């Protein structure tokens, strides 16, 4: 089946390579106006190789294909028209954050949770180890089974989505503020702050996902050499996904219940503002 990947950033490009190398026909959709053609994408690290894919914007993508949303959360609203134009047979979402149903404009995506790291550097996708957690017997399992990206099917994907949200809501703002890779946060003395953020933010998710969150957080802080996506956004002068991560808990729980998280959010916003090229 053809696959359309919405988002030609690091994650979308890395997934395009993985799918292309497994023999899939891939169309990588960039921003509106992206010239139609083909592109060779080079990936190094955990996912290594060269994949050739068709490129263009969403309006040039094949209609009725399976679509994988690898967009930044702040790009989703602007991409809905393009997603609708593609009339996807199925839609899989690997974007970070917790989303309200209305943000999808009537679509109901199948969630998948990506823990591998992706970063663009000199037009090469640098990848760090991880896996893709998917709905058992869902479309994402069918798509990515047999690729170089390990696939872990589960019965309860929402538990995994919320666990990953909690981890991202702690690690991403701390990385954006400090400029450190994920496994540099504990050596910098931030273990107590990370634990405080966990206690404050955990009430925003299901009680039964907290053990999974703790295990995932420990693995990220101890083993992941990746630069979190929010740090990459700050360095490139882009918006951040705070509204769909840590700030989601502030809206749901109230800043009075999350004073450390509120302070960390303010620092992350200041870091992003100071890194903008127009300042």
The residue segments making up the domain with residue 189 are: 157-275
pLDDT digits over 97-107, tens only? 999 989 999 99
pLDDT number for residue 279: 39
Residues 104 and 199 occupy one common structural domain: no
- Same domain, residue pair 229 and 175: yes
Given 100, 127, 154, which residue is the final one in a domain? Answer: 154
Total count of domains within the chain? 2
Q: What pLDDT is stored for residue 276 in this prediction?
A: 52
* Whole-Å CA distances, 268 to 35, 124, 176, 230: 35, 27, 6, 9
71 within 8 A of 41, measured Cβ to Cβ: no
Domain shared by 85 and 213, yes or no: no
List Cβ neighbours of 130 (8 Å cut-off, separation of 6 or more).
46, 114, 115, 116, 117, 150, 224
Q: What is the pLDDT of residue 184?
A: 98
86 with 68: CB under 8 angstroms?
A: no
Mean pLDDT throughout 143-162?
96
pLDDT in tens, 26-55: 999 999 999 999 999 999 999 999 999 999
**The overall pTM is greater than 0.85:** yes
pLDDT of residue 88: 96
Mean pLDDT of 141-147: 96
Element (DSSP H or E) covering residue 4: strand 3-6
Last residue of a domain, one of 154, 187, 207: 154
Are 225 and 126 in contact by the 8 Å Cβ rule? The answer is no
> Could you tell me the pLDDT band of residue 58, with boundaries at 50, 70 and 90?
very high
For residue 138, the SS3 value is coil
How far, in whole angstroms, is CA 254 from its chain's centroid? Answer: 25
Q: How many Å apart are CA 247 and CA 164, to the nearest integer? A: 15
Same domain, 134 and 192: no
Range with the poorest average pLDDT among 53-62, 69-78, 270-279: 270-279
Among 214, 218, 231, residue whose Cα is nearest residue 267: 231
Residue 149 and residue 13 in one domain: yes
Q: Are residues 13 and 141 in the same domain?
A: yes
Nearest to 76 by CA among 56, 61, 97: 97
177 Cβ partners below 8 Å, 6+ apart?
264, 267, 268, 271
Residues 187 and 83 in one domain: no
* Residue 183 belongs to domain with CATH number: 1.10.1040.10
- Domain of residue 72, CATH code: 3.40.50.720
Residue 2: its pLDDT value, please? 86
pLDDT at position 275 is: 58
Residues 23 and 91 in one domain: yes
Instruction: Looking at the structure, tell me whether residues 84 and 215 fall in a common domain.
Output: no
What is the distance, to the nearest Å, from the Cα of residue 206 to the centroid of all Cα atoms in its chain?
20
Q: What is the pLDDT of residue 215?
A: 94
Cα distance between residue 118 and residue 138, in whole Å: 24
Q: Are residues 143 and 165 in the same domain?
A: no
Shared domain check, 173 and 259: yes
Boundary-marking domain end, from 101, 131, 154: 154
Residues 188, 260 share a domain: yes
């Amino acid at each position: 089946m053809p696959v359309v990947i919405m988002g030609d950033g690091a994650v979308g490009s890395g997934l395009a390579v993985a799918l292309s190398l497994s023999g899939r026909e891939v169309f990588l959709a960039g921003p509106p106006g992206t010239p139609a053609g083909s592109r060779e994408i080079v990936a190094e690290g955990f996912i290594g190789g060269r994949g050739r894919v068709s490129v263009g914007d969403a309006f040039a993508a094949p209609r009725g294909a399976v679509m994988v949303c690898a967009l930044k959360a702040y790009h989703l609203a602007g991409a809905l028209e393009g997603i609708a134009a593609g009339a996807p047979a199925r839609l899989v979402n690997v974007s970070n954050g917790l989303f309200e149903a209305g943000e999808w404009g009537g679509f109901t995506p199948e969630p998948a949770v990506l823990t591998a790291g992706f970063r663009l550097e000199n037009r090469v996708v640098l990848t760090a180890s991880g896996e893709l957690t998917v709905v058992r017997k869902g479309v994402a399992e069918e798509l990515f089974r047999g690729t170089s990206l390990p696939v872990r099917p589960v019965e309860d994907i929402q538990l995994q989505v919320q666990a990953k949200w909690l981890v991202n809501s702690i690690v991403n703002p701390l990385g954006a503020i400090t400029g450190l890779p994920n496994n540099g946060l504990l050596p910098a003395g931030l273990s107590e702050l990370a634990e405080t953020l966990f206690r404050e933010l955990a009430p925003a998710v299901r009680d039964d996902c907290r053990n999974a969150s703790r295990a995932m957080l420990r693995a990220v802080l101890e083993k992941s050499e990746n630069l979190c996506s929010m740090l990459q956004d700050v360095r490139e002068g882009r918006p951040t996904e705070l509204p769909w991560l840590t700030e989601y808990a502030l809206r749901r729980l109230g800043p009075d219940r999350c004073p450390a998280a509120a302070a960390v959010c303010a620092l992350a916003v200041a870091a992003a503002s100071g890194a903008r090229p127009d300042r």
